[in-house]
Amino acid sequence: MSDTSPILALPYLMPAQAQKHVTHNEALQRLDVLVQTVVESFGATLPPDTPVEGEVHAPGPGATGSWAGQEGHLALWLDGAWSFVALRPGWRAWGRADNRLRLWDGTAWVALPVDTDGLAGVGIGTAHDATNRLAVVAPAALLTHAGAGHQLKINKADAAETGSVLFQSNWSGRAELGAIGDDNFTLKVSADGAVWKDALRADRTTGVVAVPNGLDLGGSLTGTAVTQSSVDGTAGRLTKVGDFGWGLASSGLANIADWNRTDAPSGVYAFGATTLSPEARPPGYSPGNFGIVRIERFNNDFFKQSASRAAASNPEEIWERRHANGTWTEWKQVYNQGTVVGPASQSGGKPTGALLERGSNANGEYLRFADGTQECWRSLAGTVGAASLWTFPAAFAGAPVVTGSVVATSLSVMCLEAVPSHISASVSARDASGRRADTMHLVARGRWF
Protein backbone atom coordinates (compact mmCIF):
# COMPACT_ATOMS: atom_id res chain seq x y z
CA MET A 1 0.00 0.00 0.00
CA SER A 2 1.26 3.48 -0.95
CA ASP A 3 2.15 5.96 1.74
CA THR A 4 0.18 8.75 -0.05
CA SER A 5 -3.24 9.16 -1.64
CA PRO A 6 -3.34 8.74 -5.45
CA ILE A 7 -4.91 12.13 -6.32
CA LEU A 8 -3.67 14.81 -3.92
CA ALA A 9 -0.65 12.86 -2.60
CA LEU A 10 -1.87 13.26 0.97
CA PRO A 11 0.20 11.21 3.51
CA TYR A 12 -1.54 8.24 5.07
CA LEU A 13 -1.44 7.41 8.80
CA MET A 14 0.42 4.13 9.00
CA PRO A 15 -0.02 1.40 11.67
CA ALA A 16 2.25 1.79 14.69
CA GLN A 17 3.34 5.16 13.28
CA ALA A 18 4.89 7.51 15.80
CA GLN A 19 3.86 11.20 15.80
CA LYS A 20 0.74 10.60 13.75
CA HIS A 21 -0.27 14.20 14.33
CA VAL A 22 2.61 15.39 12.14
CA THR A 23 1.41 13.31 9.21
CA HIS A 24 -2.15 14.41 9.78
CA ASN A 25 -1.22 18.07 9.93
CA GLU A 26 0.78 17.80 6.71
CA ALA A 27 -2.28 16.37 4.96
CA LEU A 28 -4.44 19.19 6.31
CA GLN A 29 -1.94 21.77 5.01
CA ARG A 30 -2.22 20.36 1.51
CA LEU A 31 -5.99 20.17 1.66
CA ASP A 32 -6.08 23.77 2.84
CA VAL A 33 -4.44 25.04 -0.34
CA LEU A 34 -5.68 22.47 -2.87
CA VAL A 35 -9.39 22.51 -2.04
CA GLN A 36 -10.94 25.63 -3.72
CA THR A 37 -7.56 26.20 -5.37
CA VAL A 38 -6.59 29.82 -6.05
CA VAL A 39 -3.48 30.24 -8.22
CA GLU A 40 -1.40 33.40 -8.01
CA SER A 41 0.18 32.99 -11.45
CA PHE A 42 -0.13 30.73 -14.48
CA GLY A 43 2.90 30.02 -16.63
CA ALA A 44 5.45 31.91 -14.50
CA THR A 45 9.04 30.68 -14.78
CA LEU A 46 10.65 32.33 -11.75
CA PRO A 47 9.53 31.85 -8.13
CA PRO A 48 8.54 35.02 -6.26
CA ASP A 49 11.16 36.50 -3.95
CA THR A 50 8.92 36.69 -0.88
CA PRO A 51 6.12 34.19 -1.16
CA VAL A 52 3.35 34.13 1.44
CA GLU A 53 2.45 31.00 3.36
CA GLY A 54 -0.12 29.03 1.38
CA GLU A 55 0.62 30.65 -2.00
CA VAL A 56 -0.05 28.43 -5.01
CA HIS A 57 1.54 28.89 -8.44
CA ALA A 58 1.37 26.97 -11.72
CA PRO A 59 4.90 27.07 -13.19
CA GLY A 60 5.22 27.24 -16.96
CA PRO A 61 7.70 25.76 -19.44
CA GLY A 62 11.32 26.73 -18.83
CA ALA A 63 10.87 27.46 -15.13
CA THR A 64 14.09 28.04 -13.22
CA GLY A 65 15.36 27.97 -9.66
CA SER A 66 13.23 26.02 -7.21
CA TRP A 67 10.62 25.53 -9.94
CA ALA A 68 12.95 23.95 -12.47
CA GLY A 69 11.30 20.94 -14.13
CA GLN A 70 7.97 21.52 -12.37
CA GLU A 71 5.86 22.26 -15.40
CA GLY A 72 2.60 20.33 -15.01
CA HIS A 73 2.68 20.74 -11.22
CA LEU A 74 1.26 23.11 -8.67
CA ALA A 75 3.93 24.82 -6.57
CA LEU A 76 2.83 25.18 -2.90
CA TRP A 77 4.68 27.44 -0.42
CA LEU A 78 4.27 25.64 2.90
CA ASP A 79 6.38 25.93 6.06
CA GLY A 80 8.95 28.11 4.26
CA ALA A 81 9.60 25.71 1.40
CA TRP A 82 8.21 24.79 -2.00
CA SER A 83 6.39 21.55 -2.42
CA PHE A 84 4.84 20.33 -5.63
CA VAL A 85 1.70 18.41 -6.56
CA ALA A 86 1.39 16.74 -9.98
CA LEU A 87 -1.61 17.98 -11.96
CA ARG A 88 -4.26 15.67 -13.34
CA PRO A 89 -6.51 16.44 -16.33
CA GLY A 90 -9.72 18.05 -15.19
CA TRP A 91 -8.31 19.95 -12.22
CA ARG A 92 -9.69 23.48 -11.91
CA ALA A 93 -8.17 26.58 -10.37
CA TRP A 94 -9.21 30.20 -10.00
CA GLY A 95 -6.72 32.78 -11.26
CA ARG A 96 -6.38 35.59 -8.78
CA ALA A 97 -4.81 38.01 -11.28
CA ASP A 98 -7.42 37.76 -14.06
CA ASN A 99 -10.41 36.48 -12.06
CA ARG A 100 -10.95 33.55 -14.39
CA LEU A 101 -11.57 29.88 -13.81
CA ARG A 102 -9.14 27.61 -15.63
CA LEU A 103 -8.93 23.89 -16.33
CA TRP A 104 -5.85 21.71 -16.76
CA ASP A 105 -6.40 19.66 -19.94
CA GLY A 106 -3.26 17.58 -19.49
CA THR A 107 -0.93 19.95 -21.34
CA ALA A 108 -2.05 23.50 -20.57
CA TRP A 109 -4.36 25.64 -18.48
CA VAL A 110 -7.41 26.70 -20.53
CA ALA A 111 -10.16 29.12 -19.58
CA LEU A 112 -13.47 27.44 -18.91
CA PRO A 113 -16.31 28.42 -21.28
CA VAL A 114 -19.08 30.47 -19.71
CA ASP A 115 -22.68 29.56 -20.42
CA THR A 116 -24.21 32.79 -21.75
CA ASP A 117 -27.59 31.42 -22.76
CA GLY A 118 -30.54 33.07 -21.06
CA LEU A 119 -28.55 35.87 -19.45
CA ALA A 120 -30.62 38.78 -18.15
CA GLY A 121 -28.06 41.16 -19.65
CA VAL A 122 -24.43 41.74 -20.49
CA GLY A 123 -22.37 44.79 -19.65
CA ILE A 124 -18.93 45.23 -21.18
CA GLY A 125 -17.06 48.02 -19.49
CA THR A 126 -20.32 49.23 -17.98
CA ALA A 127 -23.54 47.94 -16.44
CA HIS A 128 -26.58 46.85 -18.42
CA ASP A 129 -30.09 47.84 -17.41
CA ALA A 130 -33.65 46.67 -18.02
CA THR A 131 -33.85 48.53 -21.36
CA ASN A 132 -30.27 48.26 -22.56
CA ARG A 133 -29.75 44.54 -21.98
CA LEU A 134 -26.45 44.72 -23.85
CA ALA A 135 -24.26 47.68 -22.91
CA VAL A 136 -20.73 48.27 -24.20
CA VAL A 137 -18.24 50.97 -23.34
CA ALA A 138 -15.37 50.80 -25.83
CA PRO A 139 -13.69 52.89 -28.52
CA ALA A 140 -14.89 50.41 -31.15
CA ALA A 141 -16.89 47.20 -31.60
CA LEU A 142 -16.12 44.54 -34.20
CA LEU A 143 -18.52 42.07 -35.78
CA THR A 144 -16.71 39.94 -38.36
CA HIS A 145 -17.36 36.89 -40.51
CA ALA A 146 -16.83 33.24 -39.68
CA GLY A 147 -15.48 32.34 -43.10
CA ALA A 148 -18.21 33.79 -45.33
CA GLY A 149 -20.56 36.77 -44.97
CA HIS A 150 -21.98 38.46 -41.91
CA GLN A 151 -25.48 39.76 -41.24
CA LEU A 152 -26.83 41.83 -38.36
CA LYS A 153 -30.57 41.43 -37.79
CA ILE A 154 -32.92 43.86 -36.05
CA ASN A 155 -36.38 42.33 -35.66
CA LYS A 156 -39.53 44.10 -34.45
CA ALA A 157 -42.86 42.68 -33.33
CA ASP A 158 -45.09 44.30 -35.99
CA ALA A 159 -45.22 47.10 -38.56
CA ALA A 160 -46.22 49.83 -36.11
CA GLU A 161 -43.16 49.21 -33.93
CA THR A 162 -39.65 50.53 -34.55
CA GLY A 163 -36.59 48.62 -35.66
CA SER A 164 -33.81 51.14 -36.12
CA VAL A 165 -30.30 52.33 -35.39
CA LEU A 166 -30.18 55.59 -33.42
CA PHE A 167 -27.15 57.88 -33.46
CA GLN A 168 -26.74 60.21 -30.49
CA SER A 169 -24.55 63.15 -29.53
CA ASN A 170 -24.13 63.48 -25.76
CA TRP A 171 -27.16 61.21 -25.32
CA SER A 172 -29.37 63.37 -27.60
CA GLY A 173 -30.62 61.83 -30.86
CA ARG A 174 -29.28 63.27 -34.09
CA ALA A 175 -29.96 60.59 -36.73
CA GLU A 176 -32.05 57.43 -36.95
CA LEU A 177 -32.41 54.90 -39.73
CA GLY A 178 -34.53 51.81 -40.12
CA ALA A 179 -38.18 50.75 -40.17
CA ILE A 180 -39.52 53.50 -37.91
CA GLY A 181 -43.22 53.16 -37.11
CA ASP A 182 -43.95 51.32 -40.37
CA ASP A 183 -42.27 48.87 -42.72
CA ASN A 184 -40.72 51.46 -45.05
CA PHE A 185 -37.04 52.35 -44.74
CA THR A 186 -36.55 55.86 -43.36
CA LEU A 187 -33.59 58.06 -42.49
CA LYS A 188 -34.45 60.79 -40.00
CA VAL A 189 -32.36 63.63 -38.62
CA SER A 190 -32.77 66.04 -35.72
CA ALA A 191 -31.04 69.19 -34.59
CA ASP A 192 -32.10 68.85 -30.95
CA GLY A 193 -33.29 65.28 -30.40
CA ALA A 194 -36.90 66.46 -30.14
CA VAL A 195 -37.97 67.60 -33.62
CA TRP A 196 -37.25 65.07 -36.35
CA LYS A 197 -37.31 65.43 -40.14
CA ASP A 198 -37.41 62.69 -42.74
CA ALA A 199 -34.31 63.07 -44.90
CA LEU A 200 -34.93 59.96 -47.01
CA ARG A 201 -37.72 57.41 -47.35
CA ALA A 202 -37.75 54.22 -49.44
CA ASP A 203 -41.15 52.64 -50.12
CA ARG A 204 -41.10 48.96 -49.19
CA THR A 205 -43.42 48.02 -52.09
CA THR A 206 -42.19 50.07 -55.03
CA GLY A 207 -38.61 50.73 -54.00
CA VAL A 208 -39.10 54.39 -54.93
CA VAL A 209 -36.92 56.70 -52.85
CA ALA A 210 -38.40 60.02 -51.69
CA VAL A 211 -36.42 62.99 -50.39
CA PRO A 212 -39.13 64.95 -48.53
CA ASN A 213 -36.99 67.96 -47.61
CA GLY A 214 -35.04 68.35 -50.84
CA LEU A 215 -31.72 67.17 -52.22
CA ASP A 216 -28.51 69.21 -52.40
CA LEU A 217 -25.92 67.62 -54.68
CA GLY A 218 -22.41 68.96 -54.50
CA GLY A 219 -20.95 66.89 -57.32
CA SER A 220 -22.00 65.76 -60.80
CA LEU A 221 -24.54 63.04 -61.51
CA THR A 222 -23.38 60.12 -63.65
CA GLY A 223 -24.68 56.75 -64.73
CA THR A 224 -27.60 55.65 -66.92
CA ALA A 225 -30.06 57.88 -65.03
CA VAL A 226 -28.36 60.79 -66.82
CA THR A 227 -28.36 61.43 -70.58
CA GLN A 228 -25.53 59.54 -72.25
CA SER A 229 -24.95 62.05 -75.05
CA SER A 230 -25.90 65.61 -75.96
CA VAL A 231 -28.85 64.30 -78.02
CA ASP A 232 -30.00 61.41 -75.79
CA GLY A 233 -33.81 61.53 -75.78
CA THR A 234 -34.39 58.49 -73.54
CA ALA A 235 -37.47 59.07 -71.36
CA GLY A 236 -36.87 59.40 -67.62
CA ARG A 237 -33.23 60.47 -67.81
CA LEU A 238 -31.89 63.69 -66.32
CA THR A 239 -30.67 66.26 -68.83
CA LYS A 240 -27.18 67.71 -68.42
CA VAL A 241 -26.20 71.30 -69.10
CA GLY A 242 -25.50 71.57 -72.82
CA ASP A 243 -27.76 68.70 -73.87
CA PHE A 244 -29.82 69.58 -76.95
CA GLY A 245 -27.91 72.86 -77.05
CA TRP A 246 -29.43 74.34 -73.89
CA GLY A 247 -27.06 76.05 -71.50
CA LEU A 248 -23.97 76.00 -73.71
CA ALA A 249 -21.68 78.99 -73.20
CA SER A 250 -19.40 78.09 -76.12
CA SER A 251 -19.35 75.97 -79.25
CA GLY A 252 -20.32 72.33 -79.12
CA LEU A 253 -23.81 72.08 -80.64
CA ALA A 254 -24.64 68.72 -82.19
CA ASN A 255 -25.14 68.90 -85.98
CA ILE A 256 -28.73 68.34 -87.12
CA ALA A 257 -27.14 65.95 -89.68
CA ASP A 258 -29.98 66.30 -92.24
CA TRP A 259 -32.26 69.24 -93.07
CA ASN A 260 -35.13 66.77 -93.51
CA ARG A 261 -34.45 64.83 -90.30
CA THR A 262 -37.72 63.96 -88.53
CA ASP A 263 -36.50 62.18 -85.38
CA ALA A 264 -34.44 64.95 -83.75
CA PRO A 265 -35.54 65.63 -80.15
CA SER A 266 -36.56 69.16 -79.23
CA GLY A 267 -33.47 71.32 -78.86
CA VAL A 268 -30.91 73.52 -80.56
CA TYR A 269 -28.60 72.10 -83.23
CA ALA A 270 -26.00 73.33 -85.70
CA PHE A 271 -26.01 73.16 -89.49
CA GLY A 272 -23.14 73.55 -91.90
CA ALA A 273 -21.55 72.36 -95.11
CA THR A 274 -21.89 68.67 -94.14
CA THR A 275 -25.61 68.83 -93.33
CA LEU A 276 -27.45 66.52 -95.73
CA SER A 277 -30.42 67.40 -97.99
CA PRO A 278 -29.05 70.84 -98.95
CA GLU A 279 -31.98 71.31 -101.34
CA ALA A 280 -34.18 71.67 -98.25
CA ARG A 281 -32.28 74.70 -96.94
CA PRO A 282 -34.15 78.00 -96.42
CA PRO A 283 -34.24 80.37 -99.45
CA GLY A 284 -31.01 82.23 -100.01
CA TYR A 285 -28.85 79.79 -98.04
CA SER A 286 -25.65 78.61 -99.72
CA PRO A 287 -23.53 75.46 -99.12
CA GLY A 288 -20.95 77.41 -97.14
CA ASN A 289 -23.45 78.87 -94.67
CA PHE A 290 -23.50 77.70 -91.07
CA GLY A 291 -25.71 78.50 -88.12
CA ILE A 292 -28.42 77.29 -85.76
CA VAL A 293 -31.44 75.01 -86.21
CA ARG A 294 -34.08 74.84 -83.49
CA ILE A 295 -36.55 71.95 -83.16
CA GLU A 296 -39.79 72.44 -81.18
CA ARG A 297 -41.98 69.35 -80.92
CA PHE A 298 -45.66 68.83 -80.16
CA ASN A 299 -45.52 65.09 -80.84
CA ASN A 300 -43.70 62.58 -83.05
CA ASP A 301 -45.22 63.96 -86.26
CA PHE A 302 -45.98 67.63 -85.59
CA PHE A 303 -43.01 69.87 -84.93
CA LYS A 304 -41.49 73.16 -86.03
CA GLN A 305 -38.03 73.75 -87.46
CA SER A 306 -36.47 77.21 -87.46
CA ALA A 307 -33.08 78.32 -88.79
CA SER A 308 -30.81 81.33 -88.68
CA ARG A 309 -27.32 81.92 -90.05
CA ALA A 310 -24.49 82.74 -87.64
CA ALA A 311 -21.97 84.65 -89.76
CA ALA A 312 -21.89 88.41 -89.25
CA SER A 313 -22.02 88.88 -93.03
CA ASN A 314 -25.39 87.13 -93.29
CA PRO A 315 -28.71 88.97 -92.87
CA GLU A 316 -30.42 88.73 -89.49
CA GLU A 317 -33.07 86.42 -90.89
CA ILE A 318 -35.05 83.73 -89.15
CA TRP A 319 -36.80 81.11 -91.28
CA GLU A 320 -39.20 78.46 -90.06
CA ARG A 321 -41.28 75.60 -91.41
CA ARG A 322 -43.51 72.88 -89.95
CA HIS A 323 -43.75 69.15 -90.31
CA ALA A 324 -47.18 67.57 -90.05
CA ASN A 325 -48.83 64.43 -91.42
CA GLY A 326 -45.49 63.34 -92.85
CA THR A 327 -45.05 66.49 -94.95
CA TRP A 328 -42.86 69.58 -94.69
CA THR A 329 -44.38 73.00 -95.33
CA GLU A 330 -42.46 75.67 -97.23
CA TRP A 331 -39.99 77.88 -95.41
CA LYS A 332 -41.42 81.19 -94.20
CA GLN A 333 -39.44 84.14 -92.97
CA VAL A 334 -40.02 85.56 -89.48
CA TYR A 335 -39.63 89.32 -89.76
CA ASN A 336 -37.90 91.59 -87.28
CA GLN A 337 -36.52 95.12 -87.14
CA GLY A 338 -33.62 94.02 -89.28
CA THR A 339 -35.70 92.48 -92.05
CA VAL A 340 -38.96 94.51 -92.21
CA VAL A 341 -37.38 97.11 -94.51
CA GLY A 342 -35.10 95.96 -97.30
CA PRO A 343 -35.16 94.65 -100.86
CA ALA A 344 -38.60 93.24 -101.64
CA SER A 345 -38.57 90.15 -103.81
CA GLN A 346 -40.81 87.32 -104.85
CA SER A 347 -40.70 83.89 -106.39
CA GLY A 348 -43.69 82.46 -108.17
CA GLY A 349 -45.88 85.18 -106.77
CA LYS A 350 -44.81 84.56 -103.18
CA PRO A 351 -42.83 87.14 -101.22
CA THR A 352 -39.25 86.16 -100.47
CA GLY A 353 -37.72 89.43 -99.31
CA ALA A 354 -38.46 92.25 -96.90
CA LEU A 355 -41.96 93.42 -96.01
CA LEU A 356 -41.24 96.94 -97.26
CA GLU A 357 -38.80 98.31 -99.80
CA ARG A 358 -38.35 102.05 -100.01
CA GLY A 359 -36.14 103.85 -102.48
CA SER A 360 -35.64 107.02 -104.48
CA ASN A 361 -33.87 108.26 -107.58
CA ALA A 362 -34.05 111.20 -109.98
CA ASN A 363 -37.57 110.11 -111.00
CA GLY A 364 -39.02 110.26 -107.49
CA GLU A 365 -39.58 107.95 -104.57
CA TYR A 366 -41.27 104.58 -104.30
CA LEU A 367 -42.57 102.14 -101.66
CA ARG A 368 -42.96 98.45 -102.39
CA PHE A 369 -44.97 96.08 -100.20
CA ALA A 370 -44.37 92.36 -99.90
CA ASP A 371 -47.92 91.64 -101.14
CA GLY A 372 -47.09 93.24 -104.55
CA THR A 373 -48.52 96.70 -103.95
CA GLN A 374 -46.34 99.62 -105.07
CA GLU A 375 -46.61 103.38 -104.77
CA CYS A 376 -44.49 105.98 -106.57
CA TRP A 377 -44.56 109.72 -106.07
CA ARG A 378 -42.76 112.89 -107.06
CA SER A 379 -43.21 116.60 -107.66
CA LEU A 380 -42.95 117.64 -111.32
CA ALA A 381 -43.19 121.10 -112.92
CA GLY A 382 -45.57 121.37 -115.87
CA THR A 383 -44.77 123.19 -119.10
CA VAL A 384 -46.97 125.28 -121.35
CA GLY A 385 -45.60 124.00 -124.61
CA ALA A 386 -45.90 120.21 -124.13
CA ALA A 387 -46.87 117.42 -121.77
CA SER A 388 -44.37 116.32 -119.10
CA LEU A 389 -43.13 112.70 -119.09
CA TRP A 390 -42.88 111.08 -115.66
CA THR A 391 -40.73 107.99 -115.70
CA PHE A 392 -41.59 106.02 -112.58
CA PRO A 393 -38.74 105.58 -110.05
CA ALA A 394 -39.61 101.85 -110.01
CA ALA A 395 -41.38 99.96 -112.75
CA PHE A 396 -44.82 98.41 -112.25
CA ALA A 397 -45.99 95.02 -113.46
CA GLY A 398 -48.79 96.78 -115.36
CA ALA A 399 -50.17 100.26 -115.90
CA PRO A 400 -50.74 101.95 -112.53
CA VAL A 401 -53.37 104.41 -111.46
CA VAL A 402 -51.87 107.89 -111.60
CA THR A 403 -53.34 110.75 -109.62
CA GLY A 404 -52.08 114.18 -108.66
CA SER A 405 -52.68 117.65 -107.40
CA VAL A 406 -51.50 121.04 -108.64
CA VAL A 407 -50.03 123.96 -106.75
CA ALA A 408 -51.77 127.06 -108.19
CA THR A 409 -53.62 130.24 -107.15
CA SER A 410 -56.36 129.68 -109.70
CA LEU A 411 -58.10 126.66 -111.12
CA SER A 412 -55.55 124.14 -112.33
CA VAL A 413 -55.76 120.35 -112.53
CA MET A 414 -53.44 117.45 -113.38
CA CYS A 415 -54.32 115.70 -116.59
CA LEU A 416 -53.08 112.46 -118.17
CA GLU A 417 -52.09 113.14 -121.75
CA ALA A 418 -52.22 109.39 -122.57
CA VAL A 419 -52.86 106.02 -120.95
CA PRO A 420 -49.91 105.36 -118.59
CA SER A 421 -47.55 102.48 -119.28
CA HIS A 422 -45.93 100.31 -116.63
CA ILE A 423 -42.84 102.54 -116.66
CA SER A 424 -44.09 106.10 -117.29
CA ALA A 425 -46.98 108.52 -117.63
CA SER A 426 -47.48 111.68 -119.74
CA VAL A 427 -48.97 114.44 -117.56
CA SER A 428 -49.69 118.16 -117.59
CA ALA A 429 -51.21 120.93 -115.48
CA ARG A 430 -54.22 122.56 -117.22
CA ASP A 431 -56.90 125.14 -116.83
CA ALA A 432 -59.74 125.88 -119.25
CA SER A 433 -57.39 127.60 -121.65
CA GLY A 434 -54.60 125.01 -121.86
CA ARG A 435 -51.42 123.78 -120.23
CA ARG A 436 -49.89 125.67 -117.36
CA ALA A 437 -46.42 125.74 -115.82
CA ASP A 438 -47.70 124.76 -112.39
CA THR A 439 -46.00 122.26 -110.06
CA MET A 440 -47.73 118.88 -109.92
CA HIS A 441 -47.59 116.41 -106.98
CA LEU A 442 -47.98 113.02 -108.63
CA VAL A 443 -48.82 109.57 -107.19
CA ALA A 444 -48.90 106.26 -109.03
CA ARG A 445 -50.42 103.15 -107.42
CA GLY A 446 -50.25 99.64 -108.78
CA ARG A 447 -48.49 96.30 -108.41
CA TRP A 448 -44.90 95.38 -108.90
CA PHE A 449 -45.75 91.69 -109.43
Domain boundaries, the chain: 20-111, 172-210, 246-334, 357-447
Asked whether the beta carbons of 395 and 424 are under 8 A apart, the reply is no
Per-residue pLDDT of the chain (449 residues; tens, 9 = 90+): 577 766 666 777 777 676 776 666 676 666 766 778 899 999 999 999 999 998 999 999 999 999 999 999 999 998 899 999 999 999 999 999 989 999 999 999 998 887 788 889 999 999 999 999 999 999 999 999 999 999 999 999 999 999 999 999 999 999 999 999 999 999 999 999 999 999 999 999 999 999 999 999 888 888 898 889 878 888 888 888 878 877 777 778 999 999 999 999 999 999 999 999 999 999 989 999 999 999 999 999 999 999 999 999 998 889 999 999 999 999 999 988 888 999 999 988 888 888 999 999 999 999 999 999 999 999 999 999 999 999 999 999 999 999 999 999 999 999 999 999 999 999 999 999 999 999 999 999 999 99
Query: In 10 A of CB 414, how many CB atoms?
Result: 21
pLDDT tens-digit series, residues 156-170: 999 999 999 999 999
CB-neighbour burial class of residue 249 (10 A; exposed 0-12, middle 13-18, buried 19+): exposed
Q: What is the mean pLDDT of the chain?
A: 92
Q: Does domain 357-447 match CATH 2.60.40.3940?
A: yes
3-state helix, strand, coil in the chain (%, to 5): 5, 35, 60
Q: Among 199, 215, 204, 197, which residue's Cα sits nearest to residue 179?
A: 204
Amino acid at 354: A
The whole-model pTM stands at 0.51
